[in-house]
């Protein structure tokens, strides 16, 4: 059809508007007096070599909609973007390809930036930053120095997973059964000098300040992570010798039920107290434990292990002698690394007692009667009434706890105490691509030595010296070889000329560990306030202009670590008077993961026989096995035509006894189900991608991708184009129902954006467009209103329509349309008429109709007759504007 009317071709309009926005600096954040402000922040990405995937634009589109909407509402909006660019992948790539991480990082950032720009996000790019920028590193290091000055950064000897073959320290997750996940090399537990941040000093504030934050279930996760518990410290004197054991317990009320004690194998007192007879066993046990990782120690071991030290302690109340054991279920890093064991009232202690035949004595009874705990099948760890407990007898658990603590304090045998699961934060990495820690140490040359780069020397790690602020940033040396080596001090140790330097005739050595990737992301939201400031980390004015962050959107994988670390730094800066709010992020939202397209698959044994899904053990995702026998199976992809649904299960069409696995997988290169946003944009345009990402479902939900769904959204935008480009000023006014629908849609979209329910906002706009499509000619005014409410979602299309409707100014400057309140409420509505709660008819009634009018309206309804005939009315329910329900019997 040779129609002159131009078609909707996104490729022809999107770049044009992106350029116009940039030229006119529409999205450069400026504070204007008298305006409200909004700081909308995305979790900035790690610019990986793979480029953007469709998961990135999900959260970014959501914040962009909010940012654009709020600008139209008269807010001054800060909406920045940057790069979390330090980290392992760039370094790994450098090792295998011989390209400097700075080079790959720059390339990746360029790719990400190009891809983000194609999506038309309204970022203020003039504030762009990368954590790798010298100007940023400088202030990251500056904060480290402040931590150091305050005693919040200290060195410690922490056992780490050291893999000599890989020449690196591994995270706990990277160690499986004492071997490296990559390469299956042996991993040893080795104490290594580490920089550690004293986050535990802030445990209480990190916990209590969560209150009042508009955060989702993440708050709970952080609470659990911090793990506050109340109890008491108790001193148990050693029997037969001087000294005592200090333990922490949350159940001081059970003190008299303690029948033995357990120390962590690493506990410093173990050497002292172990008797000669037990020496060999204890040593052997400790060696065995040392070779196991934390994971193996905790998760995998079901049966308890342990060894008797030969020593005894005395119950501080009863004076009874009780044996002291060591066992690996007691963690050296929690509490005091020692416990009193009350097997009757703690499941772990119970299992251990059973394992080694230790006595189990009831001191808390569920009913106040005496029971024989040695016959129990599990511990009683609930609240009850104390028995066999002297002065505690008859007291209920909460009361008994405080009575015991009072007694302990009075007798100097112990004190009330609060304990946290939260540990101090191991802050050093034996890696190249990170911020150098701005610390150096004096070097002692050995006799005959003159140059530590070649001669024997000792580095005095016990005398750390802060790099002077004026010398920041401390840059990374330009290494050619980033490989970790068998030297756990890391690759920087090989940059001898960087590491060693002379000052006033003395030699010094720099710290060669670097900071973890978390460092840069801990405070980037603050640098966005004032990213080019060379004198200060940010100016107080910039802070007052924009802080706090009003909306922070990112993945829930950062629910604990990043968000806890950032809060910790923020609180330190608060104590320094640099920031004025206790908390940085007022409202937090996690976008849900986007999975790959739904896949069907079946399983075959080695002999090729089909296996029904119920018989498949998927404990290891990538290695399916037959339940029971453990025989390996092969996963085989199916096409939809081979599947049938029977009773809520998918089965093979040809073999209905074979149940098929139907699920969406996380997108991954190896699975080959990654969707590239560039491809989608080429085919359907950025606006369709944006709208589809928001239309998929609730922002927070995990959702599978369906490329077909993009088609539906594209059709919608195409219809919008057709309707709005045909709008004329001479068209008759909209029919009343359409006019009402338009205003209801404005209301719905407004409220849904405020509540971040973008999927329902879009469906409301689709409903409106479907109605408008039935009307031959649309007035310009209606088209304009529609373009305005669509603009946060599909900004390019909206701008194009806006200009075609005769506007020269950018739509981004326009105010958000108001709806007419008189048009959004209907005075006449269709009501459902129920008989005994089932809908049998409908009736059109005024909202203000009285009960009598309602009765009259349905009196002669033939549709109701079959259900009311011969029955008596028991009740007549009429809720104006909602429902009529006739109860008969």
Binding to RNA (CB under 7 A) within 189-228 occurs at 217, 220-221, 224-225, 227
- Could you tell me where the DSSP H helices lie in 600-701? 677-684, 686-695
Question: Out of 326, 713, 734, 801, which residue is the one contacting RNA (CB under 7 A)?
Answer: 713
| Tally of residues, the chain | 889
Scan residues 3-42 and list those touching RNA (CB under 7 A): none
Check residue 840 and report its DSSP letter.
E
The interface region with RNA, picked from 48-56, 146-154, 462-470, 832-840 by CB under 7 A, is 832-840
Task: Please check whether residue 832 is in contact with residue 818, taking contact to mean a CB–CB distance below 8 angstroms.
Answer: no
Interface residue with RNA among 314, 715, 740, 855 (CB under 7 A) is 715
The residues in 858-877 that bind RNA, with binding defined as CB under 7 A, are: 863, 866, 875, 877
Q: Which one of the spans 54-62, 316-324, 553-561, 848-856 is the region binding RNA (CB under 7 A)?
A: 553-561
Three-class DSSP category at 21: helix
Binding window for RNA (CB under 7 A); candidates: 120-128, 432-440, 528-536, 698-706: 698-706
**Residue showing tokens 């209103």:** 785
Q: Which of 551/765 has CB closer to RNA?
A: 765
Name the minimum Å distance from CB 617 to RNA.
11
Minimum distance of RNA from residue 384's CB (angstroms):
16
With CB under 7 A as the contact rule, which of the stretches 391-399, 440-448, 528-536, 707-715 interacts with RNA? 707-715
The least CB distance from residue 883 to RNA, in Å, is 4
Interface with RNA by CB under 7 A: which range of 68-76, 131-139, 314-322, 703-711? 703-711
Footprint (CB under 7 A) of RNA, residues 242-271? 248-251, 264
Long-range Cβ contacts of 297-305 (<8 Å, 24+ apart): 297/328, 297/329, 298/329, 300/177, 301/328, 301/329, 303/351, 303/355, 304/329, 304/348, 304/351, 304/352, 304/355
Window 270-299: residues binding RNA (CB under 7 A)? 297-299
Q: Which is nearer to RNA, 188 or 887 (CB)?
A: 887
**Binders in 717-736 for RNA, by CB under 7 A:** 718-719
CB of 374 to RNA, least distance (A): 20
Nearest residue (CB) to RNA, 135 versus 760: 760
In the complex with RNA, the residue whose CB is nearer, 561 or 578, is 561
C-alpha 458: how far from chain center: 43
- Which listed residue (767, 775, 810, 823) binds RNA by CB under 7 A? 767
Per CB under 7 A, does 712 bind RNA? yes
Cβ-based nearer residue to RNA, 3 or 375: 3
Query: For strand 610-611 and strand 551-554, is the pairing parallel, antiparallel, or unpaired?
Result: unpaired
For the CB of residue 623, give the shortest distance to RNA in the complex, in Å. Answer: 15
**CA torsion through residues 111, 49, 68, 30, sign:** negative
**Unique residue bearing structure tokens 């935008």:** 717
Determine phi and psi for 410, rounding to 5 degrees: -65, -40
Smallest gap, in angstroms, from Cβ of residue 763 to RNA? 4
Segment interacting with RNA (CB under 7 A) among 75-83, 176-184, 389-397, 836-844: 836-844
Rounded to whole angstroms, how far apart are CA atoms 17 and 799? 7
Residue 173 CA to residue 666 CA, distance in Å, equals 19
Alpha-carbon separation of residue 763 from 78, 697, 710, 747 (angstroms)? 29, 11, 14, 13
Instruction: Single out the residue of 479, 560, 738, 810 in contact with RNA (rule: CB under 7 A).
Output: 560
Q: Restricting to residues 57-86, which ones interact with RNA according to CB under 7 A?
A: none
DSSP 338: E
**How far is it, in rounded angstroms, from Cα 84 to Cα 553?**
15
Whether the CB-CB separation of 861 and 841 falls below 8 Å is answered with yes
Identity of the residue, 96 or 303, whose beta carbon is nearer to RNA in the bound complex:
303
Residue 1 CB, nearest approach to RNA (Å)? 8
Residue partners of 256: CB distance under 8 A and separation at least 6: 315, 317, 318, 363, 388, 389, 390, 392
Query: Measured from the CB of residue 588, what is the shortest distance to RNA in angstroms?
Result: 14
Minimum distance of RNA from residue 846's CB (angstroms): 15
Contacts (CB under 7 A) with RNA, residues 427-446: none
Binding residues for RNA restricted to 452-481, rule: CB under 7 A: none
- In the complex, the smallest distance separating the C-beta of residue 863 from RNA, rounded to whole angstroms, is 7
- Give exposure, 625-637, as e/b (b: 16+ Cβ within 10 Å): bbeeeeeebebee
Query: 177, 288, 481, 557: which one contacts RNA (CB under 7 A)?
Result: 557
Is 754 a binder of RNA (CB under 7 A)?
A: no
Q: What is the DSSP string of 222-241?
A: HHHHH-EEEEEEEEEEBTTS
Give 694's contacts (C-beta < 8 A, 6+ positions apart). 61, 62, 65, 758, 759, 761, 762, 793
For residue 515, state whether it binds RNA (rule: CB under 7 A). Answer: no
Count the Cβ atoms, other than its own, within 10 Å of residue 522: 23
* Of the residues 499, 757, 785, 796, which one makes contact with RNA according to CB under 7 A: 757
Among 659, 691, 766, 845, binds RNA (CB under 7 A): 766
Identity of the residue, 443 or 857, whose beta carbon is nearer to RNA in the bound complex: 857
Helix (H) or strand (E) holding 154: strand 153-163
Question: x/- string (CB under 7 A) for RNA, residues 136-155?
Answer: --------------------
Binding characters for RNA, 568-607, by CB under 7 A (x = yes): ------------------------------x---------
Q: Are 638 and 660 in contact, with CB atoms under 8 Å apart?
A: yes
Binding residues for RNA restricted to 298-317, rule: CB under 7 A:
298-299, 301, 304
DSSP H/E element including 466: strand 465-466
Stretch that binds RNA, among 71-79, 356-364, 405-413, 697-705 (CB under 7 A): 697-705
Report the site for RNA in 325-364 (rule: CB under 7 A). 328-331, 334-335, 337, 339, 346, 348, 351
Q: Is there a contact between 405 and 414 (Cβ–Cβ < 8 Å)?
A: yes
Show contacts with RNA in window 368-427 (CB under 7 A). 419, 421
User: In the complex with RNA, which residue's Cβ is closer, 144 or 684?
Assistant: 684
Q: Please list every residue from 611 through 670 that binds RNA, using CB under 7 A.
A: 645, 648
* Sheet hosting strand 260-263, strand order edge to edge: 307-314, 321-326, 260-263, 338-341
Among 773, 777, 828, 847, binds RNA (CB under 7 A): 773
In the block, tokens 């203000």 appear at: 848
For residue 755, count CB atoms less than 10 angstroms from its CB and return exposed for 0-12, middle for 13-18, buried for 19 or more: exposed
**C-alpha distance from residue 354 to each of 278, 350, 746, 815 (Å):** 21, 6, 69, 73
Total chain residues near RNA (CB under 7 A) = 84
506 vs 559: CA distance, rounded Å: 46
């Amino acid at each position: 059809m040779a129609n002159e009317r131009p078609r909707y071709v996104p490729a022809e309009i999107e770049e044009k508007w992106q350029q116009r926005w940039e030229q006119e600096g529409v999205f450069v954040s400026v504070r204007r007096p008298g305006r409200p402000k909004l700081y909308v922040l995305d979790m900035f990405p790690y610019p990986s070599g793979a480029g953007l995937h469709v998961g990135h634009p999900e959260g970014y589109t959501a914040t962009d909609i909010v940012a654009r909407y709020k600008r139209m509402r008269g807010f001054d909006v800060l909406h920045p973007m940057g790069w979390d660019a330090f980290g392992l992948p760039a370094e790994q790539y450098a090792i295998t390809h011989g390209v400097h991480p700075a080079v790959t990082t720059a390339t990746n950032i360029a790719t990400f930036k190009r891809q983000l720009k194609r999506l038309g996000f309204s970022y203020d790019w003039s504030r762009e930053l990368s954590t790798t920028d010298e100007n940023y590193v400088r202030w990251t290091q500056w904060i480290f120095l402040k931590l150091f000055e305050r005693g919040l950064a200290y060195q410690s000897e922490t056992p780490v997973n050291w893999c000599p073959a890989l020449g690196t320290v591994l995270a706990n997750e990277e160690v499986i059964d004492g071997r490296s996940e990559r390469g299956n090399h042996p991993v040893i537990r080795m104490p290594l000098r580490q920089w550690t941040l004293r986050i535990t000093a802030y445990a209480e504030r990190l916990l209590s300040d969560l209150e009042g934050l508009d955060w989702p279930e993440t708050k709970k996760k952080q609470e659990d992570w911090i793990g506050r518990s109340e109890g008491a410290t108790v001193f148990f004197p050693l029997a037969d010798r001087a000294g005592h054991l200090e333990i922490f317990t949350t159940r001081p009320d059970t003190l008299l039920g303690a029948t033995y004690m357990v120390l962590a194998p690493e506990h410093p007192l173990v050497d002292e107290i172990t008797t000669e007879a037990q020496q060999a066993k204890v040593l052997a046990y400790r060696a065995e434990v040392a070779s196991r990782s934390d994971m193996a120690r905790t998760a995998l071991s079901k049966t308890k292990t342990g060894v008797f030290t030969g020593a005894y302690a005395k119950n501080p109340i009863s004076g009874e002698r009780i044996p002291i054991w060591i066992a690996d279920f007691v963690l050296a890093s929690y509490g005091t690394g020692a416990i009193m064991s009350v097997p009757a009232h703690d499941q772990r202690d119970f299992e251990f007692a059973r394992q080694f035949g230790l006595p189990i004595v009831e001191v808390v009874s569920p009913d106040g009667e005496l029971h024989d705990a040695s016959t129990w099948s599990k511990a009683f760890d609930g609240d009850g009434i104390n028995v066999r407990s002297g002065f505690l007898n008859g007291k209920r658990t909460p009361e008994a706890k405080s009575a015991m603590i009072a007694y302990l304090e009075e007798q100097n045998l112990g004190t009330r105490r609060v304990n946290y699961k939260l540990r101090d934060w191991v802050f050093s990495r034996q890696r190249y691509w990170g911020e150098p820690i701005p610390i150096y140490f004096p070097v002692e040359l050995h006799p005959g030595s003159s140059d530590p780069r070649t001669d024997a020397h000792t580095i005095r790690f016990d005398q750390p010296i802060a790099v002077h602020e004026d010398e920041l940033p401390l840059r990374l040396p330009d290494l050619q070889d980033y490989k970790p080596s068998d030297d756990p001090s890391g690759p920087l140790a090989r940059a001898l000329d960087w590491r060693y330097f002379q000052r006033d005739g003395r030699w010094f050595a720099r710290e060669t560990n670097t900071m973890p990737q978390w460092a840069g992301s801990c405070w980037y939201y603050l640098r966005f306030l004032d990213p080019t400031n060379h004198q200060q980390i940010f100016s107080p004015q910039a802070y007052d202009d924009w802080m706090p962050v009003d909306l922070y959107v990112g993945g829930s994988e950062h629910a604990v670590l990043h968000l806890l670390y950032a809060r910790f730094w923020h609180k330190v800066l608060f104590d320094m008077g640099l920031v004025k709010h206790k908390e940085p992020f007022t409202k937090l939202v996690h976008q849900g993961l986007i999975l790959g397209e739904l896949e069907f698959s079946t399983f075959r044994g080695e002999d090729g026989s089909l296996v029904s899904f119920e018989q498949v053990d998927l404990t290891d995702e990538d290695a399916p096995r037959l339940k029971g026998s453990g025989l390996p199976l092969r996963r085989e992809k199916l096409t939809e035509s081979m599947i049938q649904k029977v009773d809520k299960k998918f089965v093979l069409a040809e073999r209905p006894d074979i149940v098929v696995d139907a699920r969406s997988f996380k997108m991954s290169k190896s699975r080959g189900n990654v969707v590239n946003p560039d491809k989608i944009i080429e085919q359907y345009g950025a606006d369709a991608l944006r709208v589809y990402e928001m239309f998929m479902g609730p922002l927070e939900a995990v959702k599978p991708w369906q490329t077909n769904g993009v088609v539906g959204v594209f059709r919608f935008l195409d219809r919008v184009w057709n309707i709005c480009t045909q709008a004329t000023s001479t068209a008759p006014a909209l029919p009343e129902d359409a006019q009402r629908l338009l205003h209801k849609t404005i209301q719905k979209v407004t409220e849904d954006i405020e509540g971040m329910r973008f999927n329902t906002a879009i469906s409301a706009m689709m409903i409106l467009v479907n109605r408008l499509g039935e009307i031959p000619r649309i007035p310009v005014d209606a088209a304009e209103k529609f373009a305005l409410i669509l603009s946060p979602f599909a900004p390019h299309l909206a701008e194009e329509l806006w200009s075609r409707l005769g506007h020269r100014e950018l739509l981004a400057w326009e105010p958000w349309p108001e709806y007419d309140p008189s048009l959004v409420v209907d005075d006449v509505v269709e009501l459902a008429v129920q008989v005994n709660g089932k809908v049998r008819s409908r009736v059109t009634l005024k909202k203000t109709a009285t009960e009598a009018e309602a009765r009259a309206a349905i009196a002669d309804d033939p549709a109701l007759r079959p259900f009311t005939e011969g029955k008596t009315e028991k009740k007549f329910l009429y809720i104006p504007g909602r429902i009529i329900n006739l109860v008969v019997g």
